[in-house]
A and B are shown apart, each in its own frame.
Chain A
Amino acid sequence: MRAETLLNLSLPALLLATALIAHWLDEPYIITLATRAAILALAAVGLNLALGLGGLVSLGHAAFFGIGGYAMGILAFHAQTFTPLWGLIEGTKSMPVIWLVAVVAAALAALVIGALSLRTSGVYFIMITLAFGQMLFYFAISWPTYGGEDGLSIYLRNDFPGVNTLLPLNYFLICFSLLAVVLVLFDRLAKSPFGLALQAARQTPARAEAVGLTPYRLRLVAFVISGAITGLAGALFADLNRFVSPNMLSWHMSGELIILIVLGGLARLSGPVAGAMLFITLEYFLEGLSTYWHVYLGAILLGVVLFARGGLIGLVAGREVAHD
């Protein structure tokens, strides 16, 4: 078995084992950390589709993460206040419905933002995705109905049919299952004709075009799927905290998602999982070490970018499939 395949299986297993052992030791905080890692990994798998496979450096994925979060917040808010949205739509506390709404809303936003941003490339694309993310951030701050700058709290975690979601381990398992599904989806997609065409369009756009592919369309589809997955993660993240605020839309969030992927290993299946686990672990230990822990995070990140390209998985599994 190749080292990377082994990692692809053992990293999620390690995450699962952490949560199970924490449950056995009765450490709910560790379970929450593991849940956070699973959700961030899920968001980053979404971004990895655009960034790793498509080569699209989106610095605005917090927009989709936040839209997912607000989809949860708004639906649950209307359910708990018994006031229908626009006097028509009842709110809901049902997770599957919320997920569906989050995915569709994020996909629609990604379609609009992607259709505009993908007309450009390179550094323009980075700045434009960043600007659209900021636009939603300021909109959320200045729109007072759902809390504005203060954000929106919900009293109780939402329901999943047949599962008591208030138990930390149960909620972890829900998030972990979704992560597993999306990882399989990513793997299938990367090896599918669509995924191969997308990677070809990243490596040599001119050649891809010459054999009859349309890079713009491929990238737009990848961007939409990517946004939808990140939106799902946003709904889960807001549910974990029972809180959604404009912070989920801030560009630091977009930056952190990219950091996760690059720390883990760009374009690799388990890169986001490795990155999210590493990030949460670093946060946990460095935060204990110093209030100014972002300095260390910055230094580590700088070191990885300058000297250790290929990320964590690259170090272990070699660079044979590394980003060009």
Chain B
Amino acid sequence: MSAALLIEQLLNGLQFGVMLFLMAAGLTLIFGVMGLINLAHGSLYMIGAFAAAGTAALTGSFWLALAAALMAAALVGAIVEMVVIRRLYDRDHLDQVLATFALILIFSEGTRFLFGSLPLYLDTPDILSGPTTLPGGLDYSKYRLFIIGVGLAIAGGLFWLIGRTRLGIQIRAGEADREMIAALGVDIRKLYTLVFALGAALAGLAGAMIGAIQAVEVGMGEPVLILAFVVIVIGGIGSIKGAFIGALLVGLTDTLGRVLLPQVFGLIMDASSATTVGASLASMAIYILMAGILLFRPSGLFGGQT
């Protein structure tokens, strides 16, 4: 395999990882601060994608579409938090799983009702279409580079927000002791709604950006949701740094596994069975990675106690 192809796949893996980070960051914040497992996070990703596709169809502007996705997901997130999620903080995980599973059913069928079953498409803007030449002479998709850039910028912004701002201090304090921070005069209900809406906005942004690469359809959020779970299990629940490292690990393992494993098996068996075995194993690679990490660190790379 040529070095150019390998670099291209590395960049694809990075792009996938960065997108997973946008999902996983929200999930891990919501779990860390509120102790809530939110299966409906994938629905917010889907809502972002649909809001973007709908806005782009109306206005023709990709940038308006991105803004609409952010706002729609944040708004839906805030409303859902105030109407449903808020009642679940004191419940056990089983109730949280069920209630958020119910939300998935409602959101998925509601979206199907509004937009129909046919997939929608979102076009990349002209300025980001086509390839660009990287230093070293490699051609690579401008749009994927854009996703990598936005993802890294948001990751940096989140580290700054959590580590350096007043809101970040409150969020970290909320993780440590919610009664104490409430006693110190922080409006914990408002803080929770804010964190949930922030997580939702990140998921919506991820959905909108991916909407220009993949079809926008009902159920698009669920595979990503489950991958995001794998990411935070690997990284350690509640840790933004863990989510970042985990997302890159999963993104690179999945992308490189799909390219490299069939070739590796091609060395020891004939081409068609190597493709079959390689592809099947590649689809399992990230779960095997997760199981391996759990054997040595049951609470993830950067997690505290389980």
> Contact mask A45-72 → B, CB, 8 Å, 1/0?
0000001000001010000000000000
Contact (Cβ within 8 A) A134 B99: no
A221 smallest CB distance to B (angstroms): 20
B226 contacts across to A, CB distance below 8 A: 130-131, 134, 251
**Interface 9-mer from A86-94, A121-129, A177-185:** A121-129
Contact (Cβ within 8 A) B232 A127: yes
Contact (Cβ within 8 A) B106 A298: yes
Contact (Cβ within 8 A) A131 B230: yes
**Interface 9-mer from B129-137, B142-150, B190-198, B286-294:** B286-294
B189 within 8 A of A: no
B298 within 8 A of A: yes
Among B251-306, those with CB < 8 Å from A are 276, 279-280, 282-284, 287-288, 290-291, 294-295, 298-300, 306
B109 contacts across to A, CB distance below 8 A: 292-295, 298
A268 smallest CB distance to B (angstroms): 15
Among A92-133, those with CB < 8 Å from B are 116, 119-124, 126-128, 130-132
Interface centre among B87, B105, B112, B233 (most CB of A within 10 A): B105
Contact (Cβ within 8 A) B287 A132: yes
B160 within 8 A of A: no
Bound Cα distance A256, B192 (Å): 29
- Identify which of A127, A135, A294, A305 contacts B95 (C-beta below 8 A): A305
Question: On chain B, which size bracket covers the interface?
Answer: 35 or more
A156 within 8 A of B: no
Chain A's closest residue to B230 (CB) is: A131
Chain B's closest residue to A251 (CB) is: B226
Known A-B contacts A121-B306, A306-B87, A306-B99; the reply to A128 vs B283 at CB < 8 A is no
Among A110-165, those with CB < 8 Å from B are 116, 119-124, 126-128, 130-132, 134-135, 138-139, 141-144
A302 smallest CB distance to B (angstroms): 4
Bound Cα distance A119, B106 (Å): 34
Bound Cα distance A120, B297 (Å): 10
Known A-B contacts A120-B294, A128-B294; the reply to A57 vs B233 at CB < 8 A is no
Contact (Cβ within 8 A) B101 A124: no
> Contact mask B226-237 → A, CB, 8 Å, 1/0?
100110110001
Contact (Cβ within 8 A) B299 A51: no
A297 within 8 A of B: yes
B99 contacts across to A, CB distance below 8 A: 301-302, 305-306
Known A-B contacts A57-B93, A130-B226, A131-B229; the reply to A138 vs B284 at CB < 8 A is yes
- Identify which of A119, A142, A144, A251 contacts B298 (C-beta below 8 A): A119
- Identify which of A116, A139, A259, A295 contacts B101 (C-beta below 8 A): A259
Chain A's closest residue to B35 (CB) is: A123
B188 within 8 A of A: no
Contact (Cβ within 8 A) B279 A142: yes
A34 within 8 A of B: no
A1 within 8 A of B: no
Bound Cα distance A139, B287 (Å): 11
Contact (Cβ within 8 A) A116 B280: no
- Identify which of A119, A127, A130, A138 contacts B283 (C-beta below 8 A): A138
- Identify which of A51, A123, A143 contacts B37 (C-beta below 8 A): A123
Contact (Cβ within 8 A) B294 A259: no
A47 smallest CB distance to B (angstroms): 12
Contact (Cβ within 8 A) A298 B287: no
Contact (Cβ within 8 A) B105 A135: no
B7 smallest CB distance to A (angstroms): 26
Chain A's closest residue to B279 (CB) is: A142
A258 within 8 A of B: yes
Bound Cα distance A57, B103 (Å): 18
Chain A's closest residue to B106 (CB) is: A298
- Identify which of B104, B112, B283, B306 contacts A139 (C-beta below 8 A): B283
B31 within 8 A of A: yes
Bound Cα distance A121, B187 (Å): 31
Bound Cα distance A158, B31 (Å): 47
Chain A's closest residue to B283 (CB) is: A138
Contact (Cβ within 8 A) A131 B233: yes
A76 within 8 A of B: no
Known A-B contacts A123-B31, A295-B105, A299-B106; the reply to A305 vs B283 at CB < 8 A is no
B295 smallest CB distance to A (angstroms): 7
Contact (Cβ within 8 A) B290 A128: yes
B222 within 8 A of A: yes
B161 within 8 A of A: no
Bound Cα distance A294, B107 (Å): 10
B280 smallest CB distance to A (angstroms): 5
A168 within 8 A of B: no
A262 within 8 A of B: yes
Contact (Cβ within 8 A) B84 A302: yes
A205 within 8 A of B: no
Contact (Cβ within 8 A) B280 A295: no
Contact (Cβ within 8 A) A120 B229: no
A28 within 8 A of B: no
B118 contacts across to A, CB distance below 8 A: none
A127 contacts across to B, CB distance below 8 A: 37, 229-230, 232-233
A residues sitting closer than 8 Å to B (CB atoms) are 51, 57, 59, 116, 119-124, 126-128, 130-132, 134-135, 138-139, 141-144, 251, 255, 258-259, 262, 266, 292-295, 297-299, 301-302, 305-306, 309
12 residue pairs from A and B, CB less than 8 Å apart: A57-B97, A122-B306, A123-B237, A126-B93, A131-B287, A132-B287, A141-B283, A297-B105, A298-B105, A298-B109, A301-B98, A305-B95
Q: Which 6 A-B pairs have the closest CB atoms?
A: A298-B105, A135-B287, A298-B106, A301-B102, A138-B283, A302-B102
